[in-house]
Structure 1
């Protein structure tokens, strides 16, 4: 049996991903976790702190793999090409949200929530570690794409997250009747890297 803290994290990850931050009550989390209402305050402090803990548990392994991938590239050259940077950034997202895996499904729903939920608590959960990964990739892409304005570069990087998150969410849902079933193998990773490398490398917008 998982300990109470882990049970609360599991329940909160499921409910935040399904209902969003404001749509999820602390009571619903503790009911699903089989814990008493005071346990959230004891282990986490507040619902916002619980969201931050849930997000970091899901995303820290992805961030660590992204950092390691960038380290490998930079050990080979100070200025890795765009396609290699995209692969190093995207690969861990696919690894962290595998098809046919309930943990991957929860992570994909959580990331979609982080991208789309307007609640301030969802916008402000990140800390220094997450900022550092983002800033390293922004700097590396900036060197590879020197003609791109910082605002457009960051827009394109958000596009990377959105494309991968939508694909990963799609593999865990039944396709619409008129749409082909999503590919659950390795092909989507290759498609994403090809597509996103081309999108990142497009000329700056006039």
Structure 2
């Protein structure tokens, strides 16, 4: 097996450290030390720590984005106004499929998503590019058509909730359960439960102001 090149080693090291420590809690020196690279390697291959963060997240999210895009294409080929549950499955299903229980890479992706959602650093939220923006905008438009009673702000909040619920569920599968608590369910059962819950959450009446 060929030895990973320096760029790949940096991505692997940074992915591990960003997922564990967040953006500000991870230094360039820590990344290069773990990768076995010299301190200038991040600048040479990525330009900056922020661009490295963007590359790490895009690499992790790319399979999910591709599956979401394919799922939406298939739905819209059948009907211009799919059911909310079908949209939720096309959007959230790949998050479960690409972050399977007990998989180290899946756990790291879950932690990266949690970092994006919770890290106060601007750099943790400025990683998206045209591909990610396009998929998000297409799903937003599809949900808006079938949920016309929701404001844009509330719909965006509920869609962020899909990411949060899925990422937390995947993370808990790899953590020891608290005393007295049953371990979280893995596999297809958890996927079905989550899709049922998320469909109900997306379909709930708009909040009265």
TM-score (norm 2): 0.96
Partner of 1:43: 45
Partner of 1:131: 133
Aligned residues: 206
Partner of 2:70: 68
Partner of 2:22: 20
Gaps of 5+ in 2: none
**CA separation in 1, counterparts of 2:9 and 2:92?**
29
Give the superposed CA RMSD: 0.8
Partner of 2:79: 77
Gaps of 5+ in 1: none
Partner of 1:153: 155
Q: 1:112 aligns with which of 75, 91, 114?
A: 114
Partner of 1:59: 61
CA offset digits 1:18-75 (Å, max 9, x no partner): 0000100011011111111111111111000000000000001101100000000000
Task: Give 1:100 shift.
Answer: 1.0
Q: 1:29 aligns with which of 2, 20, 31?
A: 31
Q: 2:171 aligns with which of 166, 169, 172?
A: 169
CA offset digits 1:111-143 (Å, max 9, x no partner): 111110000101211122111111000000000
- Following TM superposition, the consecutive aligned residue runs of length 4 or more in structure 1 with deviations greater than 2 angstroms are none
TM-score (norm 1): 0.98
Partner of 1:2: 4
**CA separation in 1, counterparts of 2:199 and 2:147?**
11
**CA separation in 1, counterparts of 2:205 and 2:186?**
32
